[in-house]
A and B are shown apart, each in its own frame.
Chain A
Amino acid sequence: MTEELISFASKQDMLAKSKQFWNPDKTQFWIDSGVPLVIDRREGYFIYDVEGKRLIDVHLNGGTYNLGHRNPEVAAAVTAAMQRFDIGNHHFPSLARTALAEALISTAPDGLTKVMYGSGGGEAIDIALKSARHATKRRGIVSVAKAYHGHTGLAVATGDERFATLFLADRPDEFSHVPFNDTDAMEAALKARDVAAVIMETIPATYGFPLPAPGYLAGVKKLCERYGALYIADEVQTGLMRTGELWAITKHGVNPDILVTGKGISGGMYPVSAVLATEAAAGWLTEDGFAHMSTFGGAELGCVAALKTLEITGRPEVRSMVHYIAATFTSGLSTIQAQYPDWFTGIRQDGLVMGLEFGHPQGAKFVMKRLYENGVWAIFSTLDPRVLQYKPGILLTPAVCEELLERTEVAIAKARDDAAKGARP
């Protein structure tokens, strides 16, 4: 059956049809980048190209596959759920949605009491921004320059113009962008008291994981309080134990007004996203519960996947493992860096959120290509291609960590030679 539905004469044929029927530019981009990857089967932290090439996945789609591809426990939970549930009816109280909401709130930073659901990160960000506007009766939204919060109507306007202007979706009158790690600029943006919310990725992913300076996020939260704006923590990429705590924002001593989670929350099995909000920020749920609707938002199968994901992620054993894995990369990467200090210029790391900096404006693209050749899939940072996003899974075994570090070392050395030769990335 599957073969009848999905059948191509060859990989070349498939890529040609991909260009013809799907996305010509993106398909060609990967071919040109030396990453002609068409992912077929996948298991744990390994993905396999249709031609059989095995890659260790260190991209994980921004943490979607934190628990590995097709995590057997999540798969079993969803399979069991499918014998009883489907997406569900979004108007009615639901067993799975309510159970997940309760589970999320029990793990959340203090003050968060209500959960709203979407089907993806962008939708959740839109819900968060709408909730903030309703709560404050203000329109202004402040985000960080080079931030990335998704591609839906409001979310895309918070991000870089790279994704907004093409679609005439930028809204400079209501959405302002301030430099990261600049408290003064943040204060200037808030002073007029017309801002509904500041939205912050705890570590900006697509910008290459620049780390918030000590005290920066707490300082932003204080400014929000001073000027009556809400603080929205976008934990889509940094949440779910990636930094060694369930929610990275707690490492900064910030209790956000709104917290957004997506991607990894449902184990890469069934899309769901969630917005956790304080009672005050979620006021519309009491005033007019039908004001925002989403047929697929909080789909029940996704909720079951998320319940299982949250249970796995919250195990004390898993937290301990993440700390071990993080220490392994701290040590392993610094050993590699010591050999190529002029090329491998920096390591940005908070737990398993890592950005590797290279001494060339397109440095991460060279490394990405060589990593691919050497059996590792990691992606450059779209908004800062000097930096490679390096995001190992939270359940990695010691053996795969060692293998990954060895492959990484070889690729970094080769990429250095490529860049030195002046090759095209």
Chain B
Amino acid sequence: MTETPISVSELLTDPAGVPRARAMLQRAEWAGRAFARYDKPAVDAIVGAAAAAGAARAREYAERAVRETGFGVVEHKVLKNVACSTGVVEHYAGHDYVTPRVDAAAKVVEVPRPAGVVLALTPSTNPVATVFFKCLLALMTRSVVVVSPHPMAKEVCADAARALGEAAVKAGAPDGVIQVVDEPSVPLIDALMTDERTSVIVATGGVPVVRAAYSSGTPAIGVGPGNVPVLVDATADLAKAARRIVDSKSFDNSVLCTNESVLIVTEQAATALLRHLKQAGAYLLAPDERDRVAAMLFPGGRFDIRFVGKDASWIAAEAGLRVPNRTRVLLAPFDLVVPEEPLAHEKLCPVLGLVRVPTARRGIDAARAVLRLSGRGHSAAIHSADPQVIMEYGAAVEVLRVAVNVGNSLGSAGLETNLAPTMTIGTGFFGRSSVGENLHPSHLVQWTRLAYNRDPAEPFGDFSGLTPWQAPASRNGAVPPYPVASNQRGDHPATASGGGQAYRPARSELNGSDASALREQIRRLILEELSQLAGG
């Protein structure tokens, strides 16, 4: 007999696993239906538990993300993982996306209705933080999530999503509240996007992914790429500006869409700024060095993804350059922002284009030119003390957020400004997106408005103390409850409710003093990470 394997491969009618993905959506539909009736305390307990589970493994996932994708900086990813778990939850602590709102003057009651099934497409560059962020936004609004991670980061993302899901379910969330695709593929993602059980797609990734989301026929929130100009004029505190730009450009080795791409500086400020940039860890490439780096990064005019998220010293070494040990950013000077200039395009590594302009007005033109290449709607930065220049810049550049006197990486992402902290930057109509703000929980909840007759003769109802939601109740702590035979249920028959989901979860561990102790611990962790980051 031969040793040849025997298989009947034609019986594998769907190698991409599409049917299994559809089963996930149907499970998600059930879970979403149950979750949509939870009350605020139950939701808070679930959100807190999921965030804590994410934060507790922030470092582990940061290390694994760098290992799996081969890019980024562990310390910076730790920071983002914490910011996008407990950080985001603390930011929205006072917000309520669950309880109905009553406006007696307008005679309107607003009842929050969650999105339902959120399909979260997450990128390779910002893998775990984006998974955390989207899952938690969904949990806050009582939506359920199916995560489809970027294939390059699928393992760590799947584990991260499961960790949050398990913690959420343990705290009382319905079974299947967070699910994840283990083997993402184009046909699989297409099936998920076009399935009518998907309520909304939240897509972060490359242009093709985002366009596909919008083309699917399913409501979508997609965000496009960045190509961030940063303008510095002579009124700026140049020492601070230089430090902020170098910190921000080198953050996570520049894999974020918010990392600066082209630095535009007025002649008046240039010499001093360059001196400060050098002190902060930037290395100014000489013309021949610049050409070597440009040729290496953009062979044939296209960015070589080999360099995504690699650090400046490594890139310099690859180009055969000797640069100081402490180099964090390579400054690549060029004259004109035009399509044929490779260095004017998005560079997902710590190489920062440098353009000198005679005036701030010319700088604004250059910034507009950067955004004509790509990154419309995304973000820009400016370092200046002149409100008139800042206003003109903001009114001229085609982006929907401008980080002022702060690094763009964490500024436009809302971690160092008072914008909504986010891993998903709405690029708006400029960027062919439906959302122009930083993604926040409100984007995943809509409101049914009970609008009374305006005629004063028609009285408005008394809604005080009324809520349609309840704490889920369960015989055995699970939602749905385990199907125990009706003659073995003892004295605790299931209570009836509209959707059959009236079951009480096990109380979360996040109660009272435990919760505040945990918050304190997390706050300490964030501070520690921040100080490490500031230290270099």
* A83 to chain B: closest residue by CB: B10
Judging by beta carbons under 8 Å apart, are A320 and B30 in contact? yes
Q: Is residue B488 within 8 Å, beta carbon to beta carbon, of the partner chain?
A: yes
In the complex, per-residue mask of A395-425: 1 if CB is within 8 Å of any chain B CB, else 0? 1011000000000000000000000000000
Q: Is residue A27 within 8 Å, beta carbon to beta carbon, of the partner chain?
A: no
Judging by beta carbons under 8 Å apart, are A324 and B482 in contact? no
Judging by beta carbons under 8 Å apart, are A81 and B11 in contact? yes
Query: Which residues on A sit within 8 Å (CB–CB) of B502?
Result: 331
- The answer for the CA separation of A345 and B179 in the assembled complex, in Å, is 40
* B501 to chain A: closest residue by CB: A327
Judging by beta carbons under 8 Å apart, are B496 and A84 in contact? no
Interface residues of A in 52-95 (CB under 8 A from B): 73, 76-77, 80-81, 83-84, 95
Judging by beta carbons under 8 Å apart, are A326 and B27 in contact? no
- The answer for the CA separation of A338 and B497 in the assembled complex, in Å, is 13
Judging by beta carbons under 8 Å apart, are B20 and A326 in contact? no
In the complex, per-residue mask of B18-34: 1 if CB is within 8 Å of any chain A CB, else 0? 01100110110111011
Judging by beta carbons under 8 Å apart, are B10 and A398 in contact? no
Query: Which residues on A sit within 8 Å (CB–CB) of B283?
Result: none
**Contact with B26, one of A83, A96, A213, A397 (Cβ below 8 angstroms):** A397
Query: Which residues on A sit within 8 Å (CB–CB) of B27?
Result: 317, 320-321, 324
Judging by beta carbons under 8 Å apart, are B485 and A331 in contact? no
Q: Is residue B500 within 8 Å, beta carbon to beta carbon, of the partner chain?
A: yes
Judging by beta carbons under 8 Å apart, are A317 and B20 in contact? yes
Selected interface stretch from A30-38, A43-51, A192-200, A346-354: A346-354
Query: Which residues on A sit within 8 Å (CB–CB) of B31?
Result: 320, 324
Least CB distance, B301 to chain A, in whole angstroms: 45
Query: Which residues on A sit within 8 Å (CB–CB) of B486?
Result: 211, 330, 347-350
**Contact with B20, one of A214, A315, A348, A350 (Cβ below 8 angstroms):** A315
Query: Which residues on A sit within 8 Å (CB–CB) of B20?
Result: 315, 317
Chain B interface residue number, banded? 35 or more
**Contact with A320, one of B176, B488, B499 (Cβ below 8 angstroms):** B176
Q: How many residues of A contact B (CB 8 A)?
A: 47
Q: Is residue A334 within 8 Å, beta carbon to beta carbon, of the partner chain?
A: yes
Judging by beta carbons under 8 Å apart, are B8 and A315 in contact? no
By secondary structure, the A interface counts as helix
* B474 to chain A: closest residue by CB: A327
Query: Which residues on A sit within 8 Å (CB–CB) of B8?
Result: 81, 84, 95-96
- The answer for the CA separation of A327 and B496 in the assembled complex, in Å, is 10
- The answer for the CA separation of A213 and B485 in the assembled complex, in Å, is 10
Judging by beta carbons under 8 Å apart, are A73 and B13 in contact? yes
* B499 to chain A: closest residue by CB: A328
Query: Which residues on B sit within 8 Å (CB–CB) of A331?
Result: 494-497, 499-502
Judging by beta carbons under 8 Å apart, are B500 and A251 in contact? no
Least CB distance, A66 to chain B, in whole angstroms: 14
Judging by beta carbons under 8 Å apart, are A77 and B13 in contact? yes
- The answer for the CA separation of A268 and B11 in the assembled complex, in Å, is 18
Judging by beta carbons under 8 Å apart, are A76 and B13 in contact? yes
Q: Is residue B480 within 8 Å, beta carbon to beta carbon, of the partner chain?
A: yes
Judging by beta carbons under 8 Å apart, are A395 and B500 in contact? no
Q: Is residue B493 within 8 Å, beta carbon to beta carbon, of the partner chain?
A: yes
Interface residues of B in 24-65 (CB under 8 A from A): 24, 26-27, 29-31, 33-34
Q: A73-B13, A80-B13 are in contact. Are A334 and B175 (CB under 8 A)?
A: no
Judging by beta carbons under 8 Å apart, are A77 and B500 in contact? no
Q: Is residue A304 within 8 Å, beta carbon to beta carbon, of the partner chain?
A: yes
Query: Which residues on B sit within 8 Å (CB–CB) of A332?
Result: 496, 500
Judging by beta carbons under 8 Å apart, are B26 and A351 in contact? no
Least CB distance, B314 to chain A, in whole angstroms: 42
Q: Is residue B503 within 8 Å, beta carbon to beta carbon, of the partner chain?
A: yes
Q: Is residue B6 within 8 Å, beta carbon to beta carbon, of the partner chain?
A: yes
* A355 to chain B: closest residue by CB: B486
Query: Which residues on A sit within 8 Å (CB–CB) of B499?
Result: 328, 331, 398
In the complex, per-residue mask of A370-395: 1 if CB is within 8 Å of any chain B CB, else 0? 00000000000000000000000001
Judging by beta carbons under 8 Å apart, are A326 and B480 in contact? yes
Judging by beta carbons under 8 Å apart, are A317 and B23 in contact? yes
* A402 to chain B: closest residue by CB: B499
**Contact with A334, one of B481, B483, B493 (Cβ below 8 angstroms):** B493
Q: Is residue B418 within 8 Å, beta carbon to beta carbon, of the partner chain?
A: no
- The answer for the CA separation of A32 and B523 in the assembled complex, in Å, is 75
Least CB distance, A75 to chain B, in whole angstroms: 9
Q: Is residue B487 within 8 Å, beta carbon to beta carbon, of the partner chain?
A: yes
Q: A95-B8, A350-B486 are in contact. Are A334 and B494 (CB under 8 A)?
A: yes
Q: A331-B497, A335-B496, A348-B486 are in contact. Are A95 and B30 (CB under 8 A)?
A: no
* B26 to chain A: closest residue by CB: A321
Q: Is residue A145 within 8 Å, beta carbon to beta carbon, of the partner chain?
A: no
Query: Which residues on A sit within 8 Å (CB–CB) of B496?
Result: 331-332, 334-335, 338
Query: Which residues on A sit within 8 Å (CB–CB) of B493?
Result: 334
Interface residues of B in 457-500 (CB under 8 A from A): 480-488, 493-497, 499-500
- The answer for the CA separation of A81 and B27 in the assembled complex, in Å, is 29
Least CB distance, B442 to chain A, in whole angstroms: 26
Judging by beta carbons under 8 Å apart, are B483 and A244 in contact? yes
Judging by beta carbons under 8 Å apart, are B19 and A350 in contact? no
Give the A-binding residues of B (Cβ under 8 A).
Answer: 6, 8, 10-11, 13-14, 19-20, 23-24, 26-27, 29-31, 33-34, 175-176, 179, 480-488, 493-497, 499-503
9 more contacts with CB within 8 A, not counting A73-B14, A243-B485, are A80-B13, A308-B11, A317-B26, A317-B179, A321-B23, A324-B30, A334-B493, A338-B496, A347-B486
Q: What are 16 A-B pairs with beta-carbon distances under 8 A?
A: A73-B14, A95-B6, A211-B485, A308-B11, A317-B24, A317-B27, A320-B176, A321-B23, A324-B27, A325-B30, A327-B481, A330-B494, A330-B500, A332-B496, A349-B483, A398-B33
The 6 closest A-B pairs by CB, nearest first: A328-B500, A331-B500, A244-B483, A350-B485, A324-B30, A317-B23
